[in-house]
């Protein structure tokens, strides 16, 4: 989801999770700083679990936010 702005990272993540089995995990790489709030809220209001949130340096976008999410049931 690099280079995408709200709400696209969440919308695309939701679509990917909908195609997954319960318990499967998805790793999302986003560059929108607002995604920090968006992904926490998304997981708090759905059955999906935010397992981790980290940041990584990136030459193009400066910072990449990495989210590991488990598909809920």
What domains sit in the chain, N to C, each tagged with a CATH number? 8-70 (3.30.110.40)
The model's pTM = 0.93
Backbone angles phi, psi at 67, to 5 degrees: -120, 135
Active-site residues: which are they?
6
Q: What is the pLDDT of residues 16-73, one digit of tens each?
A: 999 999 999 999 999 999 999 999 999 999 999 999 999 999 988 899 999 999 999 8
Burial of 28 (0-12, 13-18, 19+ CB in 10 A): buried
Give the Cα separation of 51 and 49 in Å (integer).
Answer: 6
**Closest residue by Cα to residue 49 from 30, 22, 31, 29:** 22
- With vertex at residue 18, the alpha carbon angle to CA 63 and CA 38, rounded to the nearest 5 degrees, is 35
Q: What is the pLDDT of residues 48-57, one digit of tens each?
A: 999 999 999 9
């Amino acid at each position: 989801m690099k280079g995408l702005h709200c709400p696209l990272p969440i919308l695309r993540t939701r679509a990917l999770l909908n195609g997954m089995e319960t318990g499967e995990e998805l790793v999302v790489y986003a560059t929108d700083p607002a995604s920090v709030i968006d992904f926490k809220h998304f997981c708090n209001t759905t059955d999906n679990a935010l397992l981790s949130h980290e940041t990584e340096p990136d030459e193009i976008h400066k910072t990449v936010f990495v989210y590991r999410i488990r598909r809920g049931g």
